[in-house]
Amino acid sequence: MPLRPWSDIVIRDCAESLAPLPAALFRIEPHPYVAVGAPYGEGACPFRLRTGVIQRLLQAQTVLSTAEPGYRLAIFDAWRPIAVQRFMVDYAIAQECSTRGLNPSSASPAVAAVIDEVSRFWAPPSLDPATPPPHSTGSAVDLTLLDGAGELVDMGSDIDAIGAVSEPHHYRAVADTTPDAVERQQALEWDRRRRLLADAMESQGFAQHPNEWWHFSYGDQLWAWQRSQSEAIYGRASDG
């Protein structure tokens, strides 16, 4: 898997600790990666982030609920150790190969294409402290919207879906090009919901992953690259 365009950005970690997400932030449980066997280790909690990131999330939720009364943030995933990143990369490749009827162990061009596509969404599980996967820093979060009835909002694709449908502005392009009025209206609504989430997060300084409507971070290398910052303030976070 190739390095990212932000991988050469210097990290000067500010040494904030990881902290559990407060009750005010809704957690999607059971945790999706724990449910498929990801190796977090005994007692390790994935619903943790750097303390400064948590405060920004709470502020983003206030902005969201003002813009769309009754809406809240719904946290899908937060801190992710390297072992889990490695497991989930392999899992995503195996799942996508299964969907396409491929053997992931083969060296075929079709499997290579799957690996390339998955790499657009899953960062390499690098152990190099200079190139940590975003979620390993405790500054990246995957999330969606929860409505006033306590139901997850349909955003037009599942979190972790592989393909163009996951790109933040995918449905804006669909709405601009489809001749079907019903399809256009649905695309516009999905785009509005994605923009609602992005606006709330970006109001608090978060940067959005260019390929994922659900992924936002503050303070890591991706954030520094998106925000034209010379340094990142969060490197890989330990479980301690």
Q: For residues 139 and 204, what is the distance between their CA atoms, to the nearest angstrom? A: 13
Q: Is 16 a catalytic residue?
A: no
CA distances to 26, 109, 151 from 77, rounded to whole Å, are: 11, 32, 17
From the list 16, 68, 96, 212, the catalytic residue is 212
Q: For residues 77 and 142, what is the distance between their CA atoms, to the nearest angstrom? A: 5
Helix, strand, coil: what percent of the chain each, to 5? 40, 15, 50
Beta bridge pairs of residue 140: 217
First to last CA, the chain: 29
Which are the catalytic amino acids? 212
